[in-house]
Amino acid sequence: MTGNEDLLVDIDKNMIAKIEMGTGQLVEVTGKGNLVVETKIGKRYIKKVMLVPGLKENLLNVGQMMEHGYYLGFGDHKVEIYDDSSYSNMVAKVQMRGNRRFPMKLHSRIHTAYKISVCHSTTMWHRRLGHLNMSSLKLLQAQEMVVGLLEINAVKEVCEGCVLGKQCRETFPRAATTRASTPLELIHSDICGPMQIVTKASNRYFLTFIDDCTRMCWIYFLRYKSEAFNVFKRFKATVELQSGYMLRKLRSDKGGEYKSIEFNKFCEEMGMERQLTVAYSPQQNGVAERKNRTIVEMAKCMMFEKKMPLEFWAEAVNTAVYILNRCPTKALEKKTTFEAYSGRKPGIKHLRVFGSLCSVLCTCPKPTEAETGLGKQKMLVGIGMHNAVFQFHSLKWSLKRRKRSMTQL
């Protein structure tokens, strides 16, 4: 706890409480925030530091430090603080002084520009995560489902992108269903389109596959619906090889792309069960229908906010799927879909706001005329399968490139 408000960032002043000091005195807590500390191994965060006006000394609680992933070793009249279980990255070493106290000097890395940026972190993460709803955003942070997300505070202002992108009719009541217990046991699929605007790759449709057990989603773009069968074969081979599980059931509507002779024959040969919905009853394929709606809503929010041309709908949709796989869902408890499917917590520090202007470092040994001067004006239009790769569009030359090094303007 601290009495100096200037040391904290991302302060939540909705927290009001009283705590009892060692002398028995009750003091008032007027908020909590995060302390950014400069250590020997770089910048570190001490989260949920209580703000107690009038407190003359800053106090660190050993139990709270341990809860936030720090490891403390006591001995030889000193304490050593590490941020890893192998005790190799020492954050600080403090010698015991009189009265058996451990006074520690903290070098706070706070200046005006940084504090202003962090104060708006909730709004920024709302935008970076494709205008994710606030309840899911808070759940991501509270349950520590991802790596790199700081504390989320309440935001009162209305988001224009959400207002424009999430208008819809009332939903149907949910019917009771039996969930799959293992990955790839049941896959939901649906095609969305045709879109009015054709992409630069001449695509008009997108095809989604959703795992019923983990809610992991995969997306493919199509020029024609007839391409669905070949895409499905490629999808099946890829996910089975990567996961080690076998695809057992496929649920879809009765669209012609799912009922072709070759599609039915392939499923029979593979021993797969087909589950086709009744005509004019899209609710029976509700998982895929709802997922497509969520994807489109998120894509529209991101595009409307940046006033992007509609020709980038495929990039926006692809980014939405990437983000949603790293967000919580009511179908899972305390996990993102990515963690439920892969067993690993996803990192989100690399995420940036879709459609932002960026300056990109060109590392080509022989850059073309377009690539030489493009660093000044590029637009972020996607994230690659690997975290360090971004996809950009040149505003001047109408080129699309994939790069690792970039700075958001």
Walking along the chain (409 residues) 10 residues at a time, the average pLDDT comes out as: 78 73 76 75 74 78 78 86 78 78 63 40 82 86 80 70 71 62 96 93 96 97 96 97 96 92 95 86 82 94 90 93 94 92 90 80 57 59 61 54 49
Q: Which helix (H) or strand (E) holds 65?
A: helix 62-67
- CA nearest neighbour of 354 among 134, 197, 129, 117: 129
Number of domains in the chain: 4
pLDDT score recorded for residue 209: 98
- Same domain for 192 and 335, yes or no, is yes
pLDDT the model gives residue 19: 77
Same-domain status, 321 and 402: no
Residue 192, φ and ψ in degrees, nearest 5: -115, 130
> What is the model's pLDDT at position 71?
84
For residue 151, give its domain range: 114-165
Same domain, 278 and 256: yes
Domain contains 105? yes
Closest to 295 measured CA to CA, from 369, 221, 370? 221
Question: What is the chain's Cα-based Rg?
Answer: 26
The confidence score (pLDDT) of residue 409 equals 47
> What pLDDT is stored for residue 105 in this prediction?
65
Say if residue 101 is in the same domain as residue 120: no
pLDDT at 362: 63
Alpha helices in 98-216 (DSSP H): 112-119, 121-128, 134-142, 160-165
Locate all alpha helices (DSSP H) within 107-153, ordered by sequence.
112-119, 121-128, 134-142
Q: Are residues 238 and 336 in the same domain?
A: yes
Encoding tokens for residue 20? 């009892």
Residue 341: other Cβ atoms inside 10 A: 22
Q: Is the pTM of this model over 0.75?
A: no
